[in-house]
C-alpha cells in the first residue's frame, strides 16, 4: 500500500455572482439593466430551441424519405462523394492541428454514408423540381435576419451577407430544406411527443 503526504496550499469555493448592473454590463448590456439581460437570454434560448427542434424534425423527415425511396445510386456519384468526404475530413483535421497523412482516411469506410448522402440529394432535388420548392427571396432574407439577431449589430451582418450573392448560399439551401420539410409534413401522419427542454438541447437539468 502506498502512502502520500500532501500539503494544502489554498482552499477555494465557487460563489455565484450578484445579478446586478455590473454583471449585466459584463455581458454587453450597456444600460446595466438586469431585465434587459434576462430578456436577451430568453430570446437567445428561444431561438436556439427553435433551431434544435427544426433540426430534429428535418433529420426525421429526411430519414423517412430515404427509407421510402428505393433505387440504385449511381456509382460515379457515390465515389465522387466519398472523395469529397475525405477532403472535408482532411480539412477539418488540419484546422485542429492534425496531419491527415497521419490518419488512414480510407474512402471505402465512407461508402455507406456517401450512398445515403447522394441518394438523399437526388430525392430532395427531384421533390424540389417537381413541386416547385425552390428558395424564395423573402425566405432567404428572413433566415439571414434571424441569424443576424445573435450579433451586436444585426443590420451590419445582414448588409454583409447581401454584398455578395455567394454569401447567401447556405441560407438558400436552408430555405429549400425548410420547404421540403413543410411539404412532407403536410402529407405525412405526424405524431407529436412532449419533450423536456433539457432533452431537446442535450443538456442536464
Each of the 205 residues of the chain gets a pLDDT tens digit; together they read 678 888 998 988 888 888 999 999 998 888 999 999 999 899 888 988 998 999 999 999 999 998 887 888 899 999 999 999 988 888 888 888 887 677 777 888 889 999 999 999 999 999 999 999 999 999 999 999 999 988 888 999 999 999 998 999 999 999 999 999 999 999 888 788 888 878 877 765 5
Tell me what pLDDT residue 79 has: 92
pTM for this model (two decimals): 0.73
54, 62 Cβ separation under 8 angstroms: no
Q: Which three cell numbers stand for residue 19?
A: 445579478
Cα separation, 84 vs 107, in Å, equals 9
Cα separation, 19 vs 107, in Å, equals 53
Q: Where are the domains of the chain?
A: 51-131, 134-188
Cα separation, 14 vs 42, in Å, equals 25
The beta strands (E) that lie in the chain are given as none
Q: Which three cell numbers stand for residue 88?
A: 472535408
- Report angle CA 197, 51, 190 to the nearest 5 degrees: 75
The helix (run of H) or strand (run of E) holding residue 29 is none
Amino acid at each position: 500500500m502506498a502512502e502520500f503526504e500532501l500539503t494544502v496550499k489554498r482552499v477555494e469555493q465557487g460563489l455565484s455572482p450578484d445579478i446586478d448592473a455590473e454583471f449585466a454590463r459584463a455581458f454587453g448590456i450597456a444600460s446595466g439593466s438586469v431585465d434587459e439581460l434576462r430578456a436577451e437570454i430568453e430570446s437567445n434560448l428561444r431561438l436556439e430551441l427553435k433551431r434544435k427542434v427544426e433540426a430534429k424534425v428535418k433529420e426525421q423527415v429526411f430519414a423517412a424519405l430515404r427509407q421510402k425511396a428505393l433505387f440504385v445510386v449511381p456509382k460515379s456519384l457515390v465515389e465522387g462523394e466519398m472523395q469529397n468526404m475525405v477532403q472535408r475530413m482532411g480539412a477539418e483535421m488540419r484546422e485542429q492541428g492534425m496531419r491527415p497523412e497521419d490518419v488512414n482516411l480510407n474512402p471505402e469506410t465512407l461508402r455507406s454514408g456517401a450512398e445515403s448522402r447522394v441518394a438523399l440529394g437526388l430525392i430532395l432535388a427531384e421533390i424540389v423540381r417537381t413541386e416547385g420548392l425552390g428558395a424564395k427571396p423573402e425566405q432567404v432574407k428572413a433566415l439571414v435576419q434571424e441569424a443576424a439577431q445573435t450579433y451586436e449589430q444585426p443590420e451590419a451582418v445582414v448588409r454583409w451577407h447581401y454584398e455578395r450573392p455567394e454569401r447567401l448560399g447556405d441560407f438558400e439551401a436552408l430555405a429549400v430544406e425548410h420547404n421540403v420539410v413543410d411539404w412532407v409534413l403536410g402529407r405525412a401522419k405526424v405524431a407529436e411527443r412532449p419533450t423536456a427542454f433539457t432533452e431537446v438541447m442535450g443538456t442536464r437539468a
